[in-house]
A and B are shown apart, each in its own frame.
Chain A
Amino acid sequence: NAGVTQTPKFQVLKTGQSMTLQCAQDMNHEYMSWYRQDPGMGLRLIHYSVGAGITDQGEVPNGYNVSRSTTEDFPLRLLSAAPSQTSVYFCASSPRGTGDDEQFFGPGTRLTVL
């Protein structure tokens, strides 16, 4: 199993550009999520999905879109990048999305918006 994979590892964007961060998992997990990690802030939830076709907003959803057309993939779209979106982005998945589930994290995407 590859686990949770993310691409790209690094990305530099200019303000106003759009892009998609890819996330895939091969563990047949129902629950997937996106977090951003900022210095001194810990990780904050952006969007999550409890199954294919179902998505919902987390704590900091503004400026981001998601979709979940398959169990395996959960892309995160930046519609019009802003410097405030400079961050490290982590995708995670868990088997059922229950409170006691272990979440498995990808290696992260470091995004810089100029």
Chain B
Amino acid sequence: GDSVTQMEGPVTLSEEAFLTINCTYTATGYPSLFWYVQYPGEGLQLLLKATKADDKGSNKGFEATYRKETTSFHLEKGSVQVSDSAVYFCALSQNYGGSQGNLIFGKGTKLSVKP
């Protein structure tokens, strides 16, 4: 079945450091890919998405590119802030079939940014 694998955390960075969180997926066809973020004590919210190969999603300085050839969707940010401290989830959803719209999540990566 479909699955998502993301790098284990926790990740601790200093403010203004470069961030990469790796995400790879296994899926049939061409799923949509997402990054969701969960701030402490809150529900998840969409950070960015890409719906087809070579698309780049971006939001709040974060970027991720849908790489079909490497089945990857790595999250990057050039300069992290303390306010970026959160848990980041990579996820996919099929665009066809009975399970379309259902999200399959990675296990999450906790990011802590120190001042």
Is A75 in the interface zone, CB < 8 Å from B?
no
Q: Which residues of A contact B100 (CB under 8 A)?
A: 97-99
A33-B102 in contact given A42-B89, A90-B43, A100-B49 (Cβ < 8 Å): yes
Is A74 in the interface zone, CB < 8 Å from B?
no
What residue in chain A is nearest B6 (Cβ atoms)? Answer: A42
- Interface positions of B from 14 to 29, Cβ below 8 Å from A: none
Is A26 in the interface zone, CB < 8 Å from B?
no
Interface string of B37-57 (1 = CB under 8 A from A): 000001111100101000000
Q: Which residues of A contact B108 (CB under 8 A)?
A: 42
From A98, A106, A108, contact of B95 by CB (8 A) = A98
A99-B94 in contact given A33-B102, A41-B107, A42-B105 (Cβ < 8 Å): yes
Interface string of A60-96 (1 = CB under 8 A from B): 0000000000000000000000000000001010101
Q: Which residues of A contact B32 (CB under 8 A)?
A: 99-100
A108 to B51, CA, bound (A): 27
A97-B43 in contact given A41-B107, A42-B106, A42-B108 (Cβ < 8 Å): no
B interface residues (Cβ-Cβ under 8 A, vs A): 4, 31-32, 36, 42-46, 49, 51, 89, 93-96, 98, 100-108
